[in-house]
């Protein structure tokens, strides 16, 4: 399926869900969805037999400081059987950095959403285990935001025994 055919099919399936004009970016189909109804739209894209976008290969965030909405959560969807892909963008404003989790649609969204939370501070509602994945729990801030201070130094945290004092509260007392 060509990128133009992918965009046509998405427009047929989700005529009211696509919030901006679909586009081609470097030969790849790109659509923008609103936060409201996003999970249902993603589920439709996954289960449609013509699109068959069954693989979520990446979840990331782009910080457009000074623009509204400031953040865009980007989902890279692929169809291995049909050999096409779709990039889905969802805008997230700076004053409300919450977005529904896509883990109910793709289990592979788990780690990407945790990384987006850790690095950018985007909170994924309904995520089964939203905690830091790359940085230690005491780390303050989100280092991939464009307003994160470059010269900020975090104090080293004391070494701890992971058996006696685990990082995650669910494992405490075992």
| pTM score | 0.86
Q: Where are the alpha helices (DSSP H) in 14-144?
A: 38-47, 109-120
Homologous superfamily (CATH) for 3-135 = NADH:ubiquinone oxidoreductase Nqo5 subunit (3.30.460.80)
* The token pair that represents 50 in the structure block: 């013509």
28-33 and 84-92 as β-strands: parallel, antiparallel, unpaired? Answer: parallel
pLDDT tens for the chain, 174 residues: list them: 899 999 999 999 998 777 666 778 888 899 999 999 999 999 999 999 999 999 999 999 999 999 999 999 999 999 999 999 999 999 999 999 999 999 999 999 999 999 999 999 999 999 999 999 998 888 889 999 999 998 887 777 777 787 887 766 654 444
pLDDT for 172: 47
Query: How many separate helices (H) and strands (E) can be counted in the chain?
Result: 3, 7
Burial class, 65, CB count within 10 angstroms (exposed 0-12 / middle 13-18 / buried 19+): exposed
| Residue 52 neighbours by CB distance under 10 Å | 19
- Other CB atoms within a 10 A radius of the CB of residue 170 amount to 9
**94 near 71, Cβ under 8 Å?**
yes
Nearest to 73 by CA among 29, 40, 116: 116
DSSP 167: S
Domain boundaries, the chain: 3-135
Strands (E), 80-114: 84-92, 98-100
């Amino acid at each position: 399926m060509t990128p133009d055919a992918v965009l046509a099919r998405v427009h047929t399936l989700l005529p009211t869900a696509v919030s901006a004009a679909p586009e081609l970016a470097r030969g790849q189909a790109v659509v923008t969805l609103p936060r409201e109804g996003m999970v249902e739209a993603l589920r439709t894209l996954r289960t449609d037999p013509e699109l068959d976008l069954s693989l979520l290969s990446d979840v990331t965030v782009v910080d457009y400081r000074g623009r509204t909405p400031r953040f865009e959560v980007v989902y890279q969807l692929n169809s291995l059987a049909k050999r096409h892909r779709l990039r889905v963008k969802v805008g997230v404003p700076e004053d409300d950095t919450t977005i529904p989790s896509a883990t109910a649609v793709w289990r592979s969204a788990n780690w990407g959403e945790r990384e987006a939370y850790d690095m950018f501070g985007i909170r994924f509602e309904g995520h089964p285990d939203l905690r830091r994945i790359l940085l230690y729990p005491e780390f303050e801030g989100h280092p991939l935001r464009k307003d994160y201070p470059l010269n900020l130094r975090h104090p080293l945290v004391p070494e701890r025994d992971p058996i006696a004092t685990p990082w995650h509260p669910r494992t405490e007392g075992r």
